Structure 1
């Protein structure tokens, strides 16, 4: 006996539309930053452009994953294709980590060999301001959807990294304009790398949590078990499992030992109460219950 999550959520077409809009913004700013970096000589601006390139690639991956996840379930993929979003988030995290290594190597080389490095602070400032504005718009567009989808969250975190990176570049440009101190540029690049790594690691942890079928963060399995036990007609509950297909798609199963009169004709009413309990108190929309008479668990163990 089970209940299915309603259509929408992480598979909603609005998520794909938001990702597409963010992709257009990111790609446009990336081109502007590459040109600006070439003209100004700014490593920080080039690092931010490289980050934008990684984000554009990640958004393409996220968009494809969201499209694949929208495909309906079939006999071979009974849960549908929602896990595609998790794999998309995994690729995004790997891209972020690889990008961080590249930024650090380039920045250290410039710090060790600063001779002849000149950066046009004014152009650097203008281009970084354009990036800041575009990233702010993309963050606003993704802010609501990222709470429901791990895939969109990966894209949101990368846009957030770009937003902060653009702010750091603006600070470095202002320092260069005011003092002419050129090391501010590679130092800003190192700051950008330092901000990318924790977010990438956090995203990896969430991906591995989903793939490892751990209970969603904030889900108290003991509290769910206690709620079920308090329902009229329930004797005991065992074999409780909670996991998630992706962010915002928790799945629940349990074996529930019930009184004899429930099996005789009250199972439908109890099922509805249990499903409503999980939906209202624990945000679990897909739940499966196996009702058993007393002693059935011992019989299973013997078999």
Structure 2
């Protein structure tokens, strides 16, 4: 008869304590950045209306999404801190990924509106007060450098925090472009520089938005993290002593930076299945930093895996994905 063995990563209490401390620190830095952003946002709206500058108003609109992204990120951190209970067996950690995706979609949506407005102003450029644009943009650079520094102090391996950071960083680039536009308008009277600066910001926003949507989409689709190669990991697992075959290998993330793995492992009859399980779990943790692994270990003659002729090695029928077997040395 076969024997089922399951392996789970340990050290959750320690990780939970560390995560809680990190979350508290992240909340403080994000809240500080939010206060700075909101204060300047109000001043910039007034300046943009007085100057008649689309670049300033677009920056203000972007800063409004910055503030919203920070509020969303703070809310997601609070949700993610809730314990796993009831039907939420993974807790609320994926709320952070929802926040990151919302930030990415917001950047893309805002870029569409700004592109339309910029093109319209390139065709019919309004009169723009270059001096006020320059002064406000320089103040915005200072504010966004401060906000970016504060968020950078938080844990940017979290896709949630990275989403908020990308909003602020893009706004910093926007202010730099706006300052250049203000200088050009002051010295040359070329009002179309305002629209051109806006289009430059749009390019940066699209790049950041696509990156956030792609990264969050990978997690929602249960794809393996970009830094882990399932084929290579499957081969390494199959090379562990006494392992005959590895299949039904799945690697995914519940939230950014927390890879999980499950697999069915067949071992040779007479092997110590507990020792094999421990060896595979240890390799995954040490080599790939996968601390949460669920491993079903059975002998090759297990009743759920009837012998089938496939290179003379038995395996489960209808395995999900590739089947990994130990390489055989030849003379």
Q: Normalising by structure 2, report the TM-score.
A: 0.83
Find the counterpart in structure 2 of residue 287 from structure 1.
293
Partner of 2:266: 257
Q: Could you give the per-residue CA deviations for residues 10-60 of structure 1, whole angstroms, max 9, x where no partner exists?
A: 972222222222222221221222122122221101101100001111111
Are the structure 2 counterparts of residues 146 and 184 from structure 1 closer, same or farther at C-alpha, using a change threshold of 3 Å? farther
1:274 corresponding residue in structure 2: 280
Match of 1:55 in 2: 66
Note the C-alpha offset of 1:241: 0.4
Question: Which residue of 233, 236, 240 maps to 2:245?
Answer: 236
17 and 272 in structure 1: CA distance in 2 versus 1, 3 angstrom threshold: farther
Report how far residue 261 of structure 1 moved.
Answer: 4.5
> How many residues in Structure 1 have an aligned counterpart in Structure 2?
297
Range with bigger deviation, 56-65 or 270-279: 270-279
Contact 1:257 1:293 in 2 (8 A): yes
Which residue of 216, 222, 225 corresponds with 1:207? 216
For the residues of structure 2 that align with 1:232 and 1:111, how far apart are their CA atoms?
68
Going from structure 1 to structure 2, the CA distance change for 1:192 and 1:19 (only over 3 Å counts) comes to same
Between the aligned partners of 2:65 and 2:148, the Cα distance in structure 1 is 16
Inter-partner Cα distance in structure 1 for 2:155 and 2:212: 12
* Cα RMSD after superposing both structures: 2.1
Q: Is the CA contact (8 Å cut-off) linking 2:269 and 2:301 kept in structure 1? A: no
From the two aligned structures, give the one with the greater helix fraction. 1
Question: Match of 1:37?
Answer: 48
Task: Return 5+ residue gaps in structure 1 as ranges.
Answer: none
Alignment of 1:128-207 (within 5 A): 128-143=137-152, 145=154, 147-207=156-216
2:3 is aligned to: none
SS at match of 1:12: helix
Post-superposition offset of 1:146: 5.2
- 2:33 — aligned with what? 22
Aligned counterparts of 1:245 and 1:217: Cα–Cα separation in 2: 14
Q: CA deviation at 1:262?
A: 4.3
- What does residue 80 of structure 2 align with? 69
Contact 2:29 2:153 survives alignment (8 Å) = no
Is the alpha carbon distance of 1:278 and 1:145 closer, same or farther for their aligned partners in structure 2, counting shifts above 3 Å?
farther
Change (3 A) 1:182 1:92: same
Residue 108 (structure 1) shift: 2.2
The normalised TM-score by structure 1 is 0.90
**Counterparts of 2:107 and 2:293 in 1: how far apart (Å)?**
35
Q: Distance in 2 between matches of 1:262 and 1:76?
A: 38
SS in 2 for 1:214: coil
Correspondence 1:247 to 2:253? no
Deviation, 1:245, is: 1.0
Alpha carbons 1:30, 1:52 under 8 Å: kept: yes
SS in 2 for 1:28: helix
Instruction: Tell me: CA distance 1:20–1:273, structure 2 relative to 1, closer, same or farther (3 Å).
Output: farther
Q: Which one is further off, 77-86 or 193-202?
A: 193-202
Matched residue, 1:222: 231
Gaps of 5+ in 2: 1-6, 307-315, 319-331
Preserved CA contact (<8 Å) 1:9 1:248: no
* Counterparts in 2 of 1:293 and 1:144: CA distance versus 1, 3 Å: farther
Q: 1:238 to 1:146 in 2, by over 3 A?
A: same
Q: Verify: 1:298 aligned to 2:309, yes or no.
A: no
